[in-house]
Amino acid sequence: MNNYQNTSRPVRPAFAGQGSQSASGTAPTSMDGLLKKITFAPIDVDLFDGTAKAVAEVLSKPSKDKLNKSTQLRRFYDEICLWDEKVVADVSKFDDMLPFIRMLNAKAAYAKGRELVDDNFVRLMRSCLGQVTNTQTMQHFKLFMEAVMGFYKELRPN
């Protein structure tokens, strides 16, 4: 018998999508649980990997097929990048820019009203934008959304 094998429980083959696990091999998580894990100061070691992938998995399975299309999510990401560039270009004006950055919440609500994004995306934006308080948290927000978009494209290529 192999000394390295754990025989205390039966071994089952692990296939993506089998049983109660998601494709990433972790237990499925609701957006509520994920929002608690997303912090931009200090950042968790798993923020841009496991957490971003789990968020992408939730966003890639909307209640209606026409919601959360990659083109629509990309528009929000592009605007996040635009604001990040402006912040980096003139750090001293961050406090003046913050109200306009947080206006992305209103844009997300509008997109939800037009049935372009779902409630999970609106809640994600609200939670993340609420944490943007300085240039560093803005940078972390942008990088987090970059990671989410990368995983999202893998999960929902169209």
Domain boundary assignment for the chain: 31-155
Q: Give the tens place of pLDDT for each residue, 40-93.
A: 999 999 999 999 999 999 999 988 888 999 999 999 999 999 999 999 999 999
Is 12's pLDDT higher than 50? no
Amino acid at 4: Y
Pseudo-torsion of CA 151, 56, 41, 128, nearest 10°? 130
Whether omega before 42 lies within 30 degrees of 0, making that bond cis, reads yes
Amino acid at 46: D
| Cα–Cα distance for residue pair 64/111, rounded to 1 Å | 14
Is 26's pLDDT higher than 90? no
Note the helical H segments in the chain: 31-37, 52-59, 70-89, 94-102, 104-113, 119-131, 135-155
Is 28's pLDDT higher than 90? no
Task: Give the pLDDT confidence score for residue 14 in this predicted structure.
Answer: 35
Is 9's pLDDT higher than 90? no
